[in-house]
Amino acid sequence: MRITLVLIQAFVLIIHTSFSQSKSTKMSIYDFQIQSLSGEMIDFSDYKGKKILIVNTASECGYTPQYADLQLVHENFGDQLQVLGFPANNFGGQEPGTDEQIASFCEKNYGVDFPLFSKMDVVGEQQHPLYVWLKEKTGKEPNWNFCKYLISDDGKEVSFYPSSVNPGEIAEKL
């Protein structure tokens, strides 16, 4: 009886995992709706026709000055490229603040006015579905703060860039 129960549980897990993976693989970047730091739901279908640069951010990281570079990319290439920031506390506890504290820090220190989203997990058991999708598309997930994903203007191609790549370098290749 116990072996049968274990086999049934294993079967259910396999079916659930297969369904979850096939569902996210079939999704498009434009299917996501995610809450911003201000609490507003942002519909990614609004970004159709633009390249999208997705960055996992943190306020207390050696790469935090890239916020200034991201803001410059937003200002100089905003007609072609949408910058989106995703605060995460997954690496070294370097984003301990609340959404309100993060928003204040970014605006005060870097003049950030590109969209920032509610703090989320970009790796691990609680990995946000957006980052599951990005990982499935590239085979890569963030290994530190300020990793970047560039999504083509048709939403089909996704490229990964590590933290060390400055956002300006990515924008210059547009």
Residues 105-156: pLDDT tens digits? 999 999 999 999 999 999 999 999 999 999 999 999 999 999 999 999 999 9
pTM of this prediction? Answer: 0.85
DSSP for 81-130? EEEEEEE---STT---S-HHHHHHHHHHHH---S-BB----SSSTT--HH
- For 117, the domain range is 2-172
Q: Give the separation between CA 131 and CA 120, rounded to whole angstroms.
A: 10
Number of domains making up the chain: 1
- Residues serving a catalytic function are 61
pLDDT in tens, 20-37: 444 555 789 999 999 999
Per-residue CA distances from 114 to 4, 95, 126, 162, 166 (Å):
53, 18, 25, 20, 17
Specify the CATH number for the domain of residue 13: 3.40.30.10
Q: Give the separation between CA 142 and CA 3, rounded to whole angstroms.
A: 39
